[in-house]
Chains A and B, each alone.
Chain A
Amino acid sequence: MKVGLLYSRIRRDEKLLLSELRDRGHEVAKIDVRDEQFGLSEPPASFEGVDIVVDRCLATSRSLYITQFLDAYGIPVVNSATTADVCSDKVKNSLALARAGVPTPTTEVAFTTDSALEIVERFGYPCVIKPVVGSWGRLMAKVESRSAAEAILEHKSTLGHYQHKVFYIQEFVDKPGRDIRVVAVDGEPVAAMTRSSDHWLTNAAKGAEVEPFEPDDRVRDLVSTASDAVGGGLLGIDLMETGVPESDDPETRETGSHADYTVHEVNHTVEFKALNDAVDTDVPAAVVDWLEAKAETDAEAAV
């Protein structure tokens, strides 16, 4: 098959994918989106003959628009424009999860600092203020006092892009020092890991320690439902354990029992290099298996 890979920066994730695709004899067209120009009906020449496009855009704005263009041209793309639209925005992400009955942290949104402060005060401290678009744990605020909340809201209101005036406020989930990242294809887990840190943010991009994690039936069920809720595809689903008993010993907390999980986010241009290093599963191979099947299904559907 011929695979178009949309990129503006080749990370180790893209190198792993490129290597797996080339090793299997697939033709790969690397498409640097910075060089492309998109019309309303005809695709740019770079897309000539591709069976499927893999969106690995680093910039969310580009991912959102280009997947829409590819839809208009009738070129199959993973992930889809629908999935990108839902996953790229935390408000849409939370609404989709809640609508599907997936447990997700209590979240409210307001559009003025006064209304946002009322939510913060009602949630109590600590609580979390997140940007609606963003990644890698950037610009996340754990708010521990009213004065801090006032300052953060004022800064967002005064300094930020208009999206920072959409105040997304979430309950603080007292997770056991770790969260769980599951990479899944159309709801089926490929592999999973825990991400542990002494910091409240446990993103791998922030240097969290990662360990393999074996999804239990509940996690599998939540991953499947969450994937469907956002439109499916190759996704990174993030969960936290909830209801972990209080303990003074961090080790006990980390490995102790928990009541359930909550899904806080689904990522649509998922990075998997850290996961690939943490688990025995060959993640890029599993992703390419899925891409091959996807391209075949799309080709059959087009006949």
Chain B
Amino acid sequence: MADTITAEDPLTGEEIEIPADVEVGEIVDSPATGAELEVISVDPVTLEEAPELEEDWGE
């Protein structure tokens, strides 16, 4: 099991576990709600609800 840290889920206010090596800009799934959350900062870790998928996203 990879190292984890805790951060506040912005949608529920709950403390959730996320991988310890997250980067700013990374998306993590909330284990509480399944919502996509964006890592806004890492020291300390703050999360926001991730933007919706846009039509021109891709590779």
Interfacial residues, chain A to chain B (CB-CB below 8 A): 7-11, 14-15, 18, 30, 32, 58-61, 133-136, 138, 161, 236, 267-271
Contact = CB atoms under 8 A, between A and B. Distances in A.
Q: Shortest 4 CB-CB distances between A and B: which pairs?
A: A135-B58, A10-B25, A60-B56, A10-B26
A15 B26 contact: yes
Interface residues of B, number: 14
B55 interface: yes
Contacts, number: 54
B43 interface: no
Interface in B19-59: 23-27, 38-39, 50, 54-59
A226 B58 CA distance: 20
A136 B58 contact: yes
B56 A61 contact: yes
A9 B25 contact: yes
Contact of A135 (B23, B38, B59): B59
A280 B52 CA distance: 34
B27 A236 contact: no
B56 A134 contact: yes
Given A10-B25, A11-B27, A30-B23, 4 more contacts: A9-B25, A14-B23, A30-B25, A60-B57
Contacts of A134: 55-56, 58
